[in-house]
Amino acid sequence: MAEKKIGNQTVRFEKSPYIIGSAAVVGKKEGQGPLAKWFDLCLDDDMYGEKTWEKAESKMLKESMTRALTKSGKTKEDIDLVLSGDLLNQLMSSSFMARELHLPFLGLYGACSTMAESLLLGAMLTDGGFAHNIIAGASSHFCTAERQFRMPVEHGNQRPPSAQWTATATGAMVVSEKPSQIGTVGIAGENRVGTQKQIRVDCGTIGKIIDPGVKDANQMGSAMAPAAVDTILNHLEDTGRRFDYYDLIITGDLGHIGKDIAADLLKDAGIPAGAVDGNYDDCGTMMYYREAQDVHGGASGCGCSASIFAGNILSRMAGGELSRVLLISTGAMLSTISPFQGESIPGIAHAVALEACDMSREGGI
């Protein structure tokens, strides 16, 4: 058996688990953005029929998991484990989602890096033989995050130009040891199937905390960009791959400012400018129309990368547009009290490499 740990931070898979189902459920503002058509459900009302925002977020997460499961052709009885996290104190939305689903559950906290963390852990546990099928997910909600981390929404706080808008969004993926039995319907949905590709998890890189010393909680992009770049560079070094090995390298939620910083840092590290400009993007810059939707620095939140990976990216892979993609979710591990104690914002980023492969070759890449 080949070594599964390669280099300092990267793991690769013996069986390359499959992503056989995915779904994204997002809020009203996200449904008015440029990616609306890729999401499974865009709410009309971010309360989603609940009495509190927190309950609405939890219901959205449960809905995206249930939809991913249905699309995968599996049933709840096939699922061994749910891996999930969110931004709320004590993982309120994941905990209450897991209470409803009533499946074995491991809670994760990686701030906005949670989607990559849950997907990577899910792939390791599946590849390691500890689960046949798992659901990985993450969520965030503008109103729950605002009141927890910043100001009461009703206060109408003025946001500086660097501030990012927490996406009201959830994403979930079903990771399986075996290929999908029903083709890419599980990913893209019945109306959006292009060519028939299976999506496999190829390898992943676990991030270290990188703290560039940023102390301004309205500068999340610059706090997280060095962690994203560190993980990307370690991934390339560990795997021996070039930046342009991937059709797309996409970070989670650096936003407009953070994306520019990451691109500069990548070029400074010797990645050819053409590769960076051509193959690199950031979910935080993709979610909203920048000017028309008045979001300043772009999108953020666990649900930003979760919904864009689960909706847009996987669908484009299933449809044949993208073959090799490196997903990097990025998290700012600050707490609401650490800035008052003079602390800077620790950043972290985890990477997951996906490959689309032909159905006929589903026995192995």
**41 versus 153: smaller Cβ distance to a second copy:** 153
Q: Cα–Cα distance between 93 and 97 in angstroms, integer?
A: 6
The yes or no reply on residue 89 touching a second copy (CB under 8 A) is yes
Q: Cα–Cα distance between 120 and 300 in angstroms, integer?
A: 20
Burial class (CB in 10 A: 0-12, 13-18, 19+), 133: buried
Q: Cα–Cα distance between 262 and 274 in angstroms, integer?
A: 14
What count of other Cβ atoms lies within 10 Å of the Cβ of residue 182? 12
Q: Cα–Cα distance between 2 and 99 in angstroms, integer?
A: 39
The yes or no reply on residue 195 touching a second copy (CB under 8 A) is no
**3 versus 190: smaller Cβ distance to a second copy:** 3
What residue has token string 């070759």? Answer: 361
Per-residue interface string for the shown chain with a second copy, residues 280-319, x marking contact by CB under 8 A: ----------------------------------------
CB 39 within 8 A of CB 31: yes
The yes or no reply on residue 103 touching a second copy (CB under 8 A) is yes
- Tally the residues of the chain: 365
Stretch that binds a second copy, among 67-75, 91-99, 188-196, 263-271 (CB under 8 A): 91-99
From the list 69, 112, 287, 334, which residue makes contact with a second copy (rule: CB under 8 A)? 334
The yes or no reply on residue 216 touching a second copy (CB under 8 A) is no
Residue 112, SS3? strand
From the list 11, 138, 236, 352, which residue makes contact with a second copy (rule: CB under 8 A)? 11
What residue has token string 């998890």? Answer: 201
| Helix or strand run (H / E) with residue 266 | helix 255-268
Q: Minimum distance from CB of 211 to a second copy (Å)?
A: 5
| Helix or strand run (H / E) with residue 8 | none
Here the tokens at position 119 are 């997907």
- Nearest CA to 39 among 167, 183, 133? 167
Here the tokens at position 309 are 């990976």
From the list 35, 206, 236, 304, which residue makes contact with a second copy (rule: CB under 8 A)? 206
Q: Cα–Cα distance between 248 and 313 in angstroms, integer?
A: 9
The yes or no reply on residue 90 touching a second copy (CB under 8 A) is yes
From the list 3, 154, 268, 291, which residue makes contact with a second copy (rule: CB under 8 A)? 3
**59 versus 316: smaller Cβ distance to a second copy:** 59
From the list 61, 125, 304, 328, which residue makes contact with a second copy (rule: CB under 8 A)? 125
Residues 46-85 that bind a second copy (CB under 8 A): 51-52, 54-55, 80-81, 85
Q: Minimum distance from CB of 203 to a second copy (Å)?
A: 10
CB 266 within 8 A of CB 243: yes
The yes or no reply on residue 96 touching a second copy (CB under 8 A) is yes
From the list 159, 208, 267, 290, which residue makes contact with a second copy (rule: CB under 8 A)? 208
The yes or no reply on residue 5 touching a second copy (CB under 8 A) is yes
Stretch that binds a second copy, among 123-131, 275-283, 295-303, 314-322 (CB under 8 A): 123-131
Q: Minimum distance from CB of 92 to a second copy (Å)?
A: 4
The yes or no reply on residue 267 touching a second copy (CB under 8 A) is no
The yes or no reply on residue 95 touching a second copy (CB under 8 A) is yes
The 8-class DSSP code of residue 297 comes to T
Identify the bridge partners of residue 349 per DSSP, sorted by sequence position. 330
Q: Cα–Cα distance between 49 and 125 in angstroms, integer?
A: 35
**318 versus 334: smaller Cβ distance to a second copy:** 334
**2 versus 291: smaller Cβ distance to a second copy:** 2
Q: Cα–Cα distance between 156 and 208 in angstroms, integer?
A: 36
- Between the two ends of the chain, the Cα-to-Cα distance in Å is 16
- Residues that bind a second copy in the complex, under the rule CB under 8 A: 1, 3-5, 8-9, 11, 14, 51-52, 54-55, 80-81, 85, 88-92, 95-96, 98-99, 102-111, 117, 121, 124-125, 127-132, 206-209, 211, 333-338, 341, 343, 346, 348, 350
